[in-house]
């Protein structure tokens, strides 16, 4: 499973990229706001750090304006994936930009039917939001499974990009289900290395090593 990092924090992206933990980046208007930087400027810098897809989101609501914004964003770098919402106008935009040869990430997906429409419109990525479904007492992971089944039934090429990842369990379950990609904030990705038994075992090893009175260097 590919790891995308969900942030516009350039330093955090560079740190994870140096460790080989970044296959791409996802951004959205909220993350751009948090960065405090110009969208074109920060997106271009991110595209220079990572070689994989970098999702940059349109903010218009009508197809014609979305298409214009998408083409402007796609000029930033060859690895831009234009991010559009899963609305009818978003699907129109997806079809047009996909036919033009651009990568498109269709976001805010909350049903298998929506994912089916996005695949038929030529989406490169579909972004189902796991955590937001969990927030309203629905099973976000069940949606990932449903989309996986639908796409496999008909050999759709659209990649499932599991989004709104909140926990380590979300990541492992998405990998078991067969999501192509997951995107998560830097803290969640770093947190995957943590386990209480690892900490406990290391503590015991260090205590025993201290008793030997030895040094390696």
The rounded distance, in Å, linking the Cα atoms of 107 and 84 is 6
Buried b (16+ CB within 10 A) or exposed e, 113-145: ebbbbbbebbbbbbbbbbeebbeeeeebbebbb
Contact 117, 126 (CB under 8 A): no
The rounded distance, in Å, linking the Cα atoms of 156 and 148 is 10
Active-site residue identified among 34, 44, 72, 83: 83
The rounded distance, in Å, linking the Cα atoms of 191 and 47 is 25
**Helices marked H in 60-182 — which ranges?**
63-74, 88-99, 112-120, 130-135, 140-154, 168-177
The rounded distance, in Å, linking the Cα atoms of 158 and 180 is 9
Q: Indicate if 83 belongs to the active site.
A: yes
Positive or negative, the Cα torsion across 10, 189, 123, 91? negative
Catalytic residues: 83
């Amino acid at each position: 499973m590919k790891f995308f990092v969900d942030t516009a924090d350039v330093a955090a992206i560079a740190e994870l990229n140096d460790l080989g933990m970044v296959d791409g980046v996802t951004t959205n208007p909220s993350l751009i706001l948090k960065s405090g930087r110009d969208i074109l400027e920060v997106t271009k810098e991110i595209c220079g750090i990572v070689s994989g897809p970098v999702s940059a989101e349109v903010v218009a609501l009508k197809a014609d304006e979305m298409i214009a914004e998408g083409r402007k964003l796609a000029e930033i770098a060859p690895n831009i994936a234009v991010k559009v919402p899963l609305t009818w106008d978003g699907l129109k935009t997806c079809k047009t930009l996909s036919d033009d040869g651009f990568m498109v990430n269709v976001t805010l997906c909350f049903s298998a039917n929506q994912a089916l429409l996005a695949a038929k419109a030529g989406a490169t990525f579909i972004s189902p939001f796991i955590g937001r479904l969990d927030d309203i007492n629905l099973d976000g992971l069940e949606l990932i499974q449903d989309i996986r089944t639908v796409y496999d039934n008909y050999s759709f090429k659209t990649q499932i990009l599991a989004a709104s990842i909140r926990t380590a369990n979300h990541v492992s379950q998405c990998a078991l289900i067969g999501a192509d990609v997951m995107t998560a904030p830097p803290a969640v990705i770093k947190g995957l290395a943590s386990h209480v038994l690892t900490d406990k075992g290391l503590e015991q090893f260090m205590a025993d090593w201290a008793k030997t009175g030895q040094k390696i260097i």
